[in-house]
Homo-oligomer: A and B are copies of this chain.
Amino acid sequence: MEAFFKLKIPTEVFHIINGFSPVGEETVSLEDTFGRVLSVDLTAPEDLPDFFKSTMDGYAVQSKNTFGATESLPALLEITGEVSMGEAENIIVESGQAVKIPTGGMLPAGADGVVMVEYCSLLDEKTLEVSRAISPLENTIQPGDDFKKGAVILPAGKRLRPQDLGVLAGLGFLEVPVFRKPKVAILSTGDEMVPVSQNPTPGEVRDINRYTLGALCRNMGAVPVYMGICSDHFEPLKEMVEKAVSSADIVWISGGSSVGTRDFTLKVFETLPDFELLVHGISISPGKPTIIGRTGAKPVIGLPGHPASALVVAEIFMTRMLRTLSGNMDARHDVHTVKQAILKRNIPSSGGREDYVRVRLEKDGEHLKVVPIFGKSGLISTLVEADGLIRIDMNTEGLYEGDEVDVMLFSHV
């Protein structure tokens, strides 16, 4: 039971995870930047927008000519031209003049605002009646209103969303420097494991972790590299781990749920060059037998063998790890959305460890209720039923019906 005293608590584990570095940089075309993480601060090479434009269909005027205009006492202006979309017209708006302009059109020189077409009527082809005053700059966007030349538009570490691509497009970024997607070597161990394509004989099981962990990687913007299944023996495992280390940025071994294999995993890790053991067991349930180490700068992870436990540990810790390796430093991008809701049943808990309990959200009239999913923790079906997890602190004996709890929604939908 000596190992018990070496268990790390989750906050220590998160701290260790934050100590890893992004895996490297590359340049991708704007098209491919959605969901990618910027590797440098980007600054505006020009003003956005870079000309003075109308935000309405109407007439470009000198605003002072409209001051005091009302429906009963309209201002009268002479129409001297029309702006075409996409053109910088060679027109000057003098006092007393108006030029027709479409939404997005470039304001002609002399004009400092736009009267909406709704407040204009034509007395004749050349004479405009304006029934409402505008203030200077009204219904316009000035150069640099979005971003001024030289301003930081998006910071390094930002995961790019549709609107972020929009700004990059507006400023003409055809290629964008981003962090590489981390490559995750996924390796399942166990003499009982067979590939999904094979019919298991009694006592054998299909390799579930390859698919659950692979999907979780893809959801986090990482690239799974499937190494296959390894039997519970030292030499073949060592060989496969070495291959995994050389072909990926992080290695995940799941399995080793039997005592013997658990030992193998760590023993194999210890043969890796420049190996350091960082975590040997975490005081959580499920997920206690998790191993985190590094070979040089590269993390190597031993996950539990039970598919359900492996996925819960990956959801809690490996999502954070992938975020760190991806260079994602966006404080506004939490890995998990947290929702508050009312617990519908008591949940007992043993002290001395954090419990992560699978829960379902249920609408109950106006309120959102949290229903714990009981059932054997080794069953993958409990995760199929679940919408997320709730954490039970190690210093409590459980949670009570009616408590408001934080539900950590799964990182995927």
Tell me if A166 is interfacial: C-beta within 8 Å of chain B: yes
User: A220 → chain B, closest Cβ, in Å?
Assistant: 10
Stretch at the interface among A17-25, A139-147, A346-354, A390-398: A139-147
Our pick among B86, B197, B213 for the contact of A203 (Cβ within 8 Å) is B86
User: Given A206-B172, A208-B169, are A219 and B162 neighbors across the interface (CB < 8 Å)?
Assistant: yes
Query: Interface residues of A, CB < 8 Å — how many?
Result: 98
Which residues of chain B come closer than 8 Å to A145, judged between CB atoms?
376, 379, 381
User: Given A162-B215, A166-B212, A379-B145, are A50 and B86 neighbors across the interface (CB < 8 Å)?
Assistant: no
User: Given A103-B305, A190-B104, A211-B165, are A387 and B201 neighbors across the interface (CB < 8 Å)?
Assistant: no
Assess whether A166 is in contact with B104, with CB atoms less than 8 Å apart: no
Tell me if A79 is interfacial: C-beta within 8 Å of chain B: no
User: Given A34-B218, A50-B202, A340-B340, are A166 and B311 neighbors across the interface (CB < 8 Å)?
Assistant: yes
The secondary structure that dominates the A interface is loop
Which residues of chain B come closer than 8 Å to A232, judged between CB atoms?
85
Assess whether B190 is in contact with A85, with CB atoms less than 8 Å apart: yes
Assess whether A104 is in contact with B257, with CB atoms less than 8 Å apart: yes
Tell me if A207 is interfacial: C-beta within 8 Å of chain B: yes
User: Could you mark each residue 241-265 of chain A with 1 if its beta carbon is under 8 Å from any beta carbon of chain B, else 0?
Assistant: 0000000000000000111100000
Tell me if A307 is interfacial: C-beta within 8 Å of chain B: yes
Which residues of chain B come closer than 8 Å to A167, judged between CB atoms?
208, 380-381, 384
User: Given A117-B259, A172-B199, A212-B162, are A86 and B191 neighbors across the interface (CB < 8 Å)?
Assistant: yes
User: A229 → chain B, closest Cβ, in Å?
Assistant: 11
Tell me if A337 is interfacial: C-beta within 8 Å of chain B: yes
Task: Give the distance in Å from the alpha carbon of A260 to the alpha carbon of B200 in the complex.
Answer: 67
Our pick among B34, B154, B201, B208 for the contact of A384 (Cβ within 8 Å) is B154
Assess whether A376 is in contact with B192, with CB atoms less than 8 Å apart: no
Which residues of chain B come closer than 8 Å to A168, judged between CB atoms?
211
Tell me if A371 is interfacial: C-beta within 8 Å of chain B: no
Assess whether A380 is in contact with B163, with CB atoms less than 8 Å apart: yes
User: A340 → chain B, closest Cβ, in Å?
Assistant: 7
Assess whether A30 is in contact with B211, with CB atoms less than 8 Å apart: yes
Near B by CB (< 8 A), chain A positions 45-64 give 48-51, 55, 57
User: Given A218-B34, A259-B117, are A84 and B361 neighbors across the interface (CB < 8 Å)?
Assistant: no
Instruction: Enumerate 21 A-B pairs (CB-CB under 8 Å) in ascending A order.
Output: A31-B211, A34-B214, A35-B412, A51-B202, A57-B258, A88-B202, A88-B203, A104-B192, A104-B305, A105-B192, A105-B203, A106-B203, A146-B380, A147-B381, A161-B215, A161-B410, A163-B308, A167-B208, A167-B384, A169-B210, A171-B206
- Interface set of A (CB-CB < 8 Å, partner B): 30-31, 34-35, 48-51, 55, 57, 84-89, 102-106, 117, 141, 145-147, 153-154, 159, 161-174, 190-193, 196-197, 199-216, 218-219, 232, 257-260, 305-308, 311, 332-333, 337, 339-340, 361, 376, 378-381, 383-384, 386-387, 409-410, 412-413
**Nearest 5 CB-CB pairings of A with B:** A86-B192, A102-B258, A162-B215, A163-B383, A106-B203
